[in-house]
Structure 1
Amino acid sequence: MERRIQELRWDPVLGEWVMVSSIREARPWQPEGFCPFCPGAPETGYGWDALILRNRYPMLSDTPLEPGKHVFYRTAPSYGRCWVVIETPIHDLDDISDLPVEHIARVLNLVVDKYREEKQDKRLAYFLFFRNKGREIGVSLTHPHSQIYVLPFVPVRVQREIENARRYYSESKECLFCRIIGEEEKERVRIVYDSSDWVAFIPFYAHWPFEVHIYPRRHVGELTDLTSDEVAALAHVLKTVLCGLNRVLGKPMPYTMVLHQNPMHTRYPFYHLHIEIYGMYRTTGKLKYAAGMETGGGNFTYDSTPEYVAELLRKAIRENKCGHM
């Protein structure tokens, strides 16, 4: 039998960590007839409207397996924690946007509380909250849920954002992200929805076809900086934007949603919390794949324009009265 492996492996060519876990092979894949996230399952029980559970098939663990030893290659223990956020007892709900705003706010507050708890562990570096939606992108369980990875390193994409924001701040003495918000509000052609606390737009430099970024207007670095009113307002913006994404093409949109914020124990004054949603369908309704240019070359291609896609999404939000359902 192949040895179980759970470790971090350093890629010396790209300069980034790869998480390796043979434990993940055992996880259920879109099972029929039984859902481990439904009420009454062994780990869920009854009497809840949302809850956070340990991932039974984690990429990271607070008791990780001993990493392998190599002459040249570098490894490290995959210390960390993986959580599943079960957003509702309702199994056949299409998306979290179908829930009331108050319920979405409760889910978000559970995540904020978990972040506050995980910050006590000084061995961990980053709290990554994310949501994968749709069988098309390989979701293993379709019951509405999101996930949390509490990592011993800062994800490379976030680290790249930090370095560019640091450079811009040193040159201009202003937050790069605040400047982006200002430019989007000035032009307004890519904004899809905004409120007094939040602004949602398709970036000028969008990579994915229906990519939406959501920023707090106030300069905020991490989840625990948000007020209760800002969390409630974020719930409304999420419901509105995701409703629009699921209706813009007349069928549910597969997407990935990720929260970017400061590392857990470092506060960068030039970094700005935000959410990125990567809607995977092109305007034709066909799936966008990260293929040769994107995966092999590392640079994305965009088959439409962010301005046109923003117009489509604004129209879908308006005509479907998203956020008022």
Structure 2
Amino acid sequence: MKGGRPKQTNSNTSELARREQRLAYTLLLPTFIILALIAFYPLGQVFYTSFTDKTFASGEKTHFIGFDNYKRLLSITIKELPPIIDEKTGKQKIDPRTGEKLYERAIRVLPRKPIRYRELTQFSLFGKRYVIGATDRDFIQAIWNTISFTVISVLAETILGLGIALVMNSNFKGRGIMRATMLVPWAVITVVSARIWEFMLAPSRIGFFNMIFEKLGIGDGNMVFLSNKSIALPTLIIVDVWKTTPFMALLILAGLQLIPKSIYEAAKVDGASPIRQFFSITLPLLKPSLAVALVFRTLDALRVFDIFQVLLAQKTYSMASYNYYQLIGNRAMGLASAIGVIIFIIIFGFAVLYMKLLGVDTE
């Protein structure tokens, strides 16, 4: 009797678990069917189109070209630049104005057949000069712009959002009004807020920032924020941080609300300082909410389109805005589909990395 009962109980438990599993699959079946129709099929179509030379809104015959679109987008080469030798002295020539050593032009070194490579950037290593060439330097630069934008903006938004959430989580008069007010930048449509910033960043004294800088004695009131490549991307990051920090603060605040107050009261009794409470209680218990906020915001930032398109147009691309340019501007649907697949793979990689590092799948 004693030995038989546990077996029967285990058998009943496993049967119940199998029935619950079958019920779960039955309930999820309609969702899987809908996903297959509205998500997986279009995604599969994009993958297939990326291997063709299909032209958007055209009756031209489509041909299967394999990985040619991906080769055009991602092909990179590194070549050493030969030094320019002075025939009289036999030594490398020096620029008299800058004092820098002179090298052959990149256009003479980079391959032009069967595929033409264009200069992406140059760097020096162990006393030699190298040039990096790309078949599509705009797209490679777009990948760099997007990842740089994502890393810096998400980091700044997380730090600022955490600070704002900690303040909003404390008790003070007018807390409700402040919580509603902080959401105003996030509530404004991105295109509208981008236009507002475009007016404020105007490259003359008409622009708000140029007017302020001139009164403070910084510059002559004609600072170019969006056409200068060295400050265009930092400017976009500032705009995005202003708009999206409230979203991060809201998600983090929701996590702070779930932490029981009794834990802090016990910590105070034990003599823990506010800083010790933050690192020993708040951060560990906030980790699941913080991880979810980071995942959502990072994946959203990697798909950034509207801010780049409105403020920079075709001067500087993100991956999404370059995809739009190829599809609408060049009507290269096959190439645009390949860009979409690359964006998907990068986002998927970031999502998996986040889940592994932050433990989103186990929390």
The normalised TM-score by structure 1 is 0.23
The normalised TM-score by structure 2 is 0.21
CA radius of gyration, larger in: 2
Instruction: Identify the structure with the greater helix proportion.
Output: 2
